[in-house]
Amino acid sequence: MEDYIVISRTDPWEFDIPGVKVITAREFLLDPIYANKKKMRIFNLSQTYAYQSFGYYVSLLAAARGHKVIPNISTIQDMKSSVVVKILSQELDDLIKKSLASLVSEQFVLSIYFGHNVAKKYDRLSQKLFNLFQTPFIRAYFVKNDKGVWSLQNIKPIPSSEIPVDHKPYVEEFAREYFADSNPGFKKRKTYQYDLAILVHPDEKHPPSDEKALAKFARAGEKLGFNVSLIEREDFPHIAEYDALFIRTTTQVNHYTYHFAQRATAEGLVVIDDPLSIVRCSNKVYLSELMRRQKLKTPRTELIYKDNLKTVVDALGFPCVLKQPDSSFSLGVVKVKDEQEYFKVAKELLSKS
């Protein structure tokens, strides 16, 4: 897969990144060579991503041509909405507070280049924000409220022409590091027709697939023409490099696995499990209702909530099985034999869901 950095015609490009070609937005949009090329990764560094600008159309047409593009149209739209920015960054609230705790000012601007800031102490926060808003160069704007709590207010792309002179050596270093880590052209390996990522969690106690199963998946994939890579949570920024994502760690809706599925789907990858399937299959309430409507035979099922504990136990009798609605792999599933055990377990499960 070839890497291209796309810049505005008026933007100077002062960085030397091995293996990466630099073209203008006009060239990318109008030259038929790029319209017909396959297996391209486009890093859109146009001066602006405003609606119907050259930068906007670079990301839009790259997607239409089947290229991998950063930022994609979804990310461009997300960055325009302060509401969306706040929603997406909520999971980073604790990290934001910790990272900015020592600052005495009321406002702070963080410049992020390929997931890094020139000050290493902000690297973790920079990487997390880059994961959420995949754009090569971005600025994050933070404010402190009356209670001294920091929050992210806005995210904006940084045109290459606005990079401070003293940041430029760092930017080149970060860019070289990013492409060296993620560019297949830097690695000697067999050529495959497709790239498949398998998302795993090495420390998971009850993984859907053990090491032996994962090895079999990899061998089977390679026989079918897939270059199979095992990836982890930290590899979120590189999702766009692949053609397909196979999630083999336990999925949940309020979880990084769901974000992986969302991002991969937005990038046009084939995804198992896709976001909608995660929402549906991870919830036993949904599945119970679906099976009921399809008239599939199942054990009698009742929904338990705090106000109907007694009613349900009278209806079901003993023994019965209690299940947490969003559990997986038999976790959160308990067989109870009497009323005392029923109330104890039911209250424990209700405290979690």
Q: Does pLDDT of 278 surpass 80?
A: yes
Closest CA to 246 of 174, 205, 197, 290: 197
Residue pair 328/301 in contact (Cβ under 8 Å)? The answer is: no
- Across residues 230-244, what is the average pLDDT? 87
Residue 308 C-beta-side C-alpha neighbours within 13 Å: 8
When pLDDT is cut at 50, 70 and 90, the band that residue 292 belongs to is confident
Cα angle 199, 126, 239 (rounded to 5 degrees) comes to 25
* pLDDT recorded at residue 248: 95
Instruction: Give the Cα separation of 121 and 287 in Å (integer).
Output: 45
- pLDDT tens, 121-176? 999 999 999 988 989 999 999 999 999 999 999 999 998 889 999 999 999 999 99
- pLDDT tens, 51-104? 889 999 999 999 888 888 999 888 898 888 887 788 778 878 889 999 999 999
Q: Report helix angle 93-100 to 123-132, nearest 10.
A: 150
Instruction: Give the Cα separation of 351 and 337 in Å (integer).
Output: 21
- pLDDT tens, 304-336? 888 888 888 888 889 999 998 877 666 778 999
* pLDDT recorded at residue 44: 95
When pLDDT is cut at 50, 70 and 90, the band that residue 191 belongs to is low
Q: Does pLDDT of 187 surpass 50?
A: no
* pLDDT recorded at residue 117: 95
Helix (H/G/I), strand (E/B), else coil: 177: helix
Closest CA to 142 of 124, 156, 161: 156
- pLDDT tens, 28-52? 999 989 988 888 999 999 989 988 8
Burial class (CB in 10 A: 0-12, 13-18, 19+), 180: middle
Cα angle 178, 110, 98 (rounded to 5 degrees) comes to 100
Burial class (CB in 10 A: 0-12, 13-18, 19+), 71: buried
CATH topology of domain 189-281: Rossmann fold (3.40.50)
Burial class (CB in 10 A: 0-12, 13-18, 19+), 211: exposed
* pLDDT recorded at residue 321: 93
- Across residues 274-280, what is the average pLDDT? 87
Residue 133 C-beta-side C-alpha neighbours within 13 Å: 30
- Across residues 243-265, what is the average pLDDT? 90
* pLDDT recorded at residue 329: 65
Strands 2-7 and 40-45: parallel
Q: Does pLDDT of 237 surpass 80?
A: no
* pLDDT recorded at residue 182: 58
Quote the percentage of the chain above a pLDDT of 90.
46
The secondary structure of residue 307, as a DSSP letter, is G
**What is the CATH code of the structural domain delimited by 299-350?**
3.30.1490
